[in-house]
Amino acid sequence: MELRCPVCGAPLRRRENAFACAAGHSFDLARQGYVNLLTVSQKHSKSPGDTKEQVNARRAFLSAGYYRPIAETLCRLAAPLEPRRIVDAGCGEGYYLDALRQALPQAELLGLDISKEAVRCAAGQYKVPTFLTATAAAMPLFDQSADLILSLFALTAAAEFHRVLTPGGHFLQVLAGEAHLLGLKSIIYPQLFHKEKISHPVLPGFSLAKSETLEFSFTLETQRDVENLLYMTPHVYRISREGLARLRATPRLTDRAQVIFNLYRKE
């Protein structure tokens, strides 16, 4: 997929260890093989997105296979679309894009994430997809240049996804359902409040072609895995000292995932 300069919008060309546009804006290719296309004005903080600790926890948890049913469902839903160019917006450490690489070897894959730590970890492990540090809200890609955009437990930038998708292209949104990880939540919070979640958001310019809910149980056999799961979720930002102490005293946990797959088609 051709990359677009985040400063002036011109095409970026590969030059030895950098990508540069005709106007001379240049972006180094890191040793691990990723490119940082996040401009200073696109950053809300010095190190936006997931921290190294979160990325390492996600890598350990996902590579243990606990979320394999999510990767399998993703591949099953993506394959019939026969996408040639796939973008994972908020790709984290690259686990799901690697599953798609194996399922769809002909497809061109690009992963982007605002977290440099996540992209560094992804590119260090997986050589084939191209990984970029960039924001999903302003992707360094041209109009109508991707057939499928994914967002797994990450941002939905509907207008931007619409711009980058080809006519008739698809956006696959993967969300946590209301009953996702109730086991973890019941340890963290003294009381569980019922929070209504929108499972099938209306997205301007898209129609919902298909929706599936995946549910499965899994057992974390070590305290380390229990803590890794916490670091994968937004609960890590909300947990109290008492909640963390309870979690650290949990040597083993059986929990249930509830994950919603919404497949949107660009109108």
Ligand X SMILES: C[S@@+](CC[C@H](N)C(=O)[O-])C[C@H]1O[C@@H](n2cnc3c(N)ncnc32)[C@H](O)[C@@H]1O
What residue ranges bind ligand X (CB under 6 A)? 49-50, 58, 89-92, 95, 113-115, 118, 135-137, 152-155
Query: Which region, judged by CB under 5 A, interacts with Zn ion, from 15-23, 74-82, 128-136, 153-161?
Result: 15-23
Q: Which does 263 bind (CB under 5 to 8 A by kind): Zn ion, ligand X, none?
A: none
Say whether residue 107 binds Zn ion (CB under 5 A): no
CB 261 within 8 Å of CB 164: no
Q: Which does 115 bind (CB under 5 to 8 A by kind): Zn ion, ligand X, none?
A: ligand X
Query: Which region, judged by CB under 5 A, interacts with Zn ion, from 18-26, 37-45, 69-77, 238-246?
Result: 18-26
Q: Which does 50 bind (CB under 5 to 8 A by kind): ligand X, Zn ion, none?
A: ligand X
Tell me the β-bridge partners of 130: 110
Say whether residue 5 binds Zn ion (CB under 5 A): yes
Q: Which does 25 bind (CB under 5 to 8 A by kind): Zn ion, ligand X, none?
A: Zn ion
Report angle CA 199, 203, 206 to the nearest 5 degrees: 115
Say whether residue 20 binds Zn ion (CB under 5 A): no
E-strand ranges in 159-238 read 165-176, 206-220
DSSP structure class, residue 253: E
Contacts of 59 (CB under 8 A, 6+ apart): 93, 95, 121, 125
Query: Cα–Cα distance between 221 and 212 in angstroms, integer?
Result: 29
Length of the chain: 267
Give least dist CB 10 to Zn ion, A: 5
Query: Cα–Cα distance between 258 and 267 in angstroms, integer?
Result: 28
Applying CB under 5 A, the residues found at the interface with Zn ion are: 5, 7-8, 10, 21, 23, 25
